Structure 1
């Protein structure tokens, strides 16, 4: 536990000084950051410091101790409070408890009673910190496995981002640690011990959240002020090691390190995670620059195939990607963990998530099912097998069939545009689909509504007839499927900013 901070609020200077001296002498792990003579000074101090405890005299001029406790509880519910009172009044103590007061001391304060009350507060803080850490680790693990934005929002809320009034702006860093091949004794104890060492690597660190990301890989998200730079993190982490007896040694067993730059908001976790993962991959000995460029080209090509519903191309890209990962498991086994994480990260990237085509929807559903099947203990072999099964199990045949249906509908429109009775219902009967579904499918596949596509085909044919023949306007109207020459002329002018006769004159 890092240094704990408290303030003492009492209108008598002698009591404030006496309590401060006792705490410095008997409770050296606590720092009295300020002593205040009234509630207003205490509220000002609470905005300046991240306080763990306030010792409050119940009788003060102006706002009394109970009113101050109520105000502090509303503003800083995590702050613990101990009340000083000269009277053991049960109803007053009951009121204090409602305002988050965890203990009380009778004046004159006895040394042993003060130490015991503060120690009890320490235990409550430790219990709270353990529960908070476990909740954060659970949310981080869920986000890591699913890359789900809802989990990210829950993590942001649990970290209390946006509610801080104290000190400098908070920063975050992401760190990946890849331990040597064959070292699999990574569990919660390992994560806690490494987290303890990470807390000592910078003065401003407030929280370290760690999870076992894979059999030989740990992931940490670190929060605090004045985070070390990426290079500083790597320099400090390079001295970190872990031996088989469960104690730290210098420079052993740590194979690769991945660090992000510091970032200001937890919404940036995805980008920082990707950066740290990339650096770990590069640090493990891979030709990262070439690999990163290949992956960038693949994800762009995949996005284009998904957007245009080109199932064959999408499957070919994914299968080639999978084959490269499998090949790497033989040629560079130490890099396979990072490579699998990179693949999963790309599948959940914003570029893919933003595409609204049916093909992209199918892929997103399959990716969700993939991450839901992944166990918490992610060994490289398990992830590799899951990725292989995911790619081989993908099927876009439904979309290929849909593309054939739309192509057939387009052919029928080009063949029958002159039929004034041609409509969506008639075409739907020919392809055995409900008209509403065909309308949605047509728009999804072509980017145009059915009626807009039909009108476009008829207008193009009308231009050809006007250029190449002397047919009258009403005859052209009938030839392209319109029974009303006036309506035809209105549509033609809307499309080409010219009447049919004006177009003929200009065309000739």
Structure 2
């Protein structure tokens, strides 16, 4: 049991003794401290023992009960003071209550009445202590949550219908942020990672974002610039910087230097830079930064774009783009590769020059891909013949720059034109012969696969895979594996060769993986096959 402390203050020794010893206070969860014969002695005990409850005589020499009560109130200690008085005087009682006395008891006080009054004070004191503990616990939690609350505060400033200046000041003080809302300007710079692999997992992407925010922090810390950095959706970071009035040009210099620093540190990023605004209008700069970052579509990756340099995009194509499209389709259908690719390049150059809006560009590209798909159907083949399980629309949506879209469309167009050439039947036997020749020559190379073969023969992997399957009825990868295992069988007949030597000679760097593939194809491990052979 946790005991509360009880202090008895009375100038009469018999009274002190009677109260302290005449009642078994530990039985009620109370420990007697002191006692004290006057107010000054009581104050010293209060400072040392910090009692919870005090029984105080109102009339004492030196410092009386009312003066002691006044001093206790000044200490703000939470002590519950019960006044003991031999005078049934309303003026005394009124003064005691005004000074914060918990109760006013008349001498001689009955034992049960005294115990009841003290226990009542104890109950109130316990509730106050529990409430104080809860407040302290909540304050500790609040202190731990301050970084999150500060980030929410900045996020709120980045949303439209933002806070008033008065609300900003109030919240900033609460969060311990030194913000002067009456002077200077604020700008938002939005940084986006460019080198995230599409197949990367969430952990890898978040780790890349964390490295970026750390680099941003290092940049500003090294230059003594106060900046606030927030992570944003789509693996972006928002940088908020204050610029003093009259030093607006410094904002552009900071942005340029930051972008150069990030690129030199190996971070592939593009950045959009908003204009300078007052703090309560920071959401405007954030919106402008996002708009500027979108302009990267025309300038390419690893760009820095200022909103002041952004021209409004054209909402649609110029008529001559549609006319060029009408020229393109016949060239594609006739299989005129060189002319078709050249015309496609000219169309994209016009799109870039005219700054056609991104949605319009992607719609037009998807329209072209749809026409290629329809042409395949007309040739009696579904689009999956060339594209397999690729999500064409998702691939298009993932392109962040116009030059990437152009290269991607050229790849699909080349795949289609490769198919047309195959359909004519001019190269079938020659290509198949080249494939067999390459396998015979390079099967022992660990990095020899469909992709490297396609590069060697100047075809796309998808087309080469389709062609081989169409001509032989077998997947190229299966054929290469079977070929390597047949060569391995011959090598295993030589007892001087270790299993890992055989694996290495047929293109496998991992002997365990080789053994697994060997058993999958033959039903035997290499060692078992060697014993039989």
**Normalising to structure 1: TM-score of the pair?**
0.35
Q: TM-score, normalised to structure 2's length?
A: 0.33
